[in-house]
Chains A and B, each alone.
Chain A
């Protein structure tokens, strides 16, 4: 695809300069950048909490942080990372920017609603950060009752309200994306010509729309109980605290699929481009995305295995939890098959893809361990669980996010970053990550509980390794901030298609026009018409 692209000096960045033109924008591309700023701030904040946690855990004694402060640290680390980084990162940053371009549309279906989503997100973030500033919360990001409703004396109400508000950002974005994908595809863009990133975003939006309202009402009930003394989960009245857990996880489990599906979509895009090959088994990958979204709603009680639920119910949920792994496995096999006989082009985005493939595999497989009822009794609430979900969330989701960010950065900014530094940061992240979380599997197996700030001395060596890994990881994450910023002013100009990729977003200039395309594109072929003849070596 070497078509001549009409380039204009006007793009979505330079056509209007005022602060108001950014804060009142209806352009999905600017909104994506606005999200990038807030998500990056949140990631830094969550990272600081993580650093404090790892610093405390280098020694067995509780010498750096008291138990009470430590509880607040891991709670706020969780809240920040889950709701303000992992859920919005790929959909709200990359999805907002790229999705309309990919389908050949001028914008999303409801641009003003899109801007509102961002403001709602920021409002929720402000509430939550305010709560942290005045002392934070110590209930864990899971807010279990009755501690959150009656026991805890921390700012549960304020944080609960903050997260409640943020949920609406998710709901509105999901709604916007679904309508856009249904109704605003360019002529010729049939469903099965859509890039897999779009299938991933669509599946994610399904989960956002169906699941997020449930956590909204759950948090509202929590707020009612704590603030207005409505006794819904109060055991003194005959209420059931486990009901809160059912309601909470009904959203929070599908939420982890909100966190992983879009990065998986980004992986599909990058792996095709840098293998110079169509993704193997396109329709299997597409349908697997939908399957993950739907099946993801059927497994939540595997978080309640030891909470006192019926063993018969636990059996059903265990079986379903095994089943939900299948579509993920299908995707992993298909990506691997995409690599086979591909012409691998070693650029930074591809480094993150390889990191993803290995780490997501480990994370996914260890999930199967936890889905096994007998094993879960031993492993639940230990560091095994912590390691499992960090392999998926950080090794999987954040790696996928970085892959996408490095892939689409030239499109978003019109600039190339330094690829050597990019590869270095990918390597540091991979090594640092494994050193941080690999030992935690062993710690969990040996019985070290999670959410404890002290531990027996025999666990110290593994903890020190983990903390050392965390410092390498921190450097790995700091580097992109530096070279991305540098590239904005001094990076090489990217041109419309530096990666010689397929996809409508690469047929237009970088950065794109405010209205995306000079005229509406007409689509005549599938998403990944790469030919192996075009082997490009940097």
Chain B
């Protein structure tokens, strides 16, 4: 065979076996197509929801993973897809989230999650419930209360502006700009919330992304904040069964195939190291940085916009006893190097079993940056995290039995919006090349796993459309609660009128 001849030709080729690629593949195989899925990872399927290596602690084996632990109530397309194939696991509903804040004086903590999702006040004023919790008052001071106006203005702004639907990139504006004049505790609270979602610090979070994030996860509905944990690591719970289903229905998934570039002709050629594949249609379903590299290598396009991909570090600590009390997860804000935490023995079945048998506990701590922290040597980072951790949980001092540091590559999407011409959507400027993933430009409001799944379905629909096959309807997201819906309508109408007036004056 000549060196640049494809080894095989497929109808549809999907690059990436993460949530976007697997969702696209499943919706194609269900319509009778036989896509080939190429995954760069040589061992694990699922991208950010893949399982990883095993670690052994005292004879017990635990599978590592990227650090994605569950889903939000608004992940409706993802859940519907899994349920349709009896792959939806029984989740562990989140009970509470703890806010831990440390300033120069001391460390304080308050439970906040359930106040937001089970508030008696309607959205968007449901955060008032936080003030009914005495512990919350302990977290803030008079300065925070006197400057609360700033907070409400940002919240109301997110009700009135839908950056994704209205195509408002707000280029150059970041969350850092918006919270610049806020008081320390409230700023720490919001930055903590944002960092949990965006995995980076406020100065890097685009304001458009943050507003869209608030809209999808909390401001429009109280119940949007309801979170459910997977019963086990993401690979075992979701992506591996999903991949098995794709194979069962006729799809093929090949691991260890890192795509370097594409070539357009009468059919697409896909260069994958020494190997060349070809297909009539391609769905590019890799993370933003990999997509950027493939597109640049293939088309010499340098002016395209790709949302940034972020790295993070995950530290897991095993103890021979459990902490006194406290919720299963939460966020560290203020003077901490750590940002998020999850007590794994309260979430995952295998850890729970271990806890029952040994009385031990295990925590996973996420560190999202800044870069100089992520670049610290393993020993230095672990030492700093463990020292800080003992300040919050002193009762566990001297009970550490195992520690593990995981460096995640830069694959986590920083949601943002580029201009229409530069930011790739599901349909691209190249015929028969479609994109899917949480970085793809699309007016739908969702994020991360749900966005990956929904764009995967939409990309599959584009393929089906060209072949005259039935497309898959997407499940709608829940509408805003009535009070906030009314405010939104008012604000949108007001803005439209103002713009019309301005245009008339011109």
Do A and B come from the same complex? no
Q: Which residues of A are in contact with B by a Cβ distance under 8 Å? A: none
- The interface of chain B, by Cβ under 8 A from chain A, is none
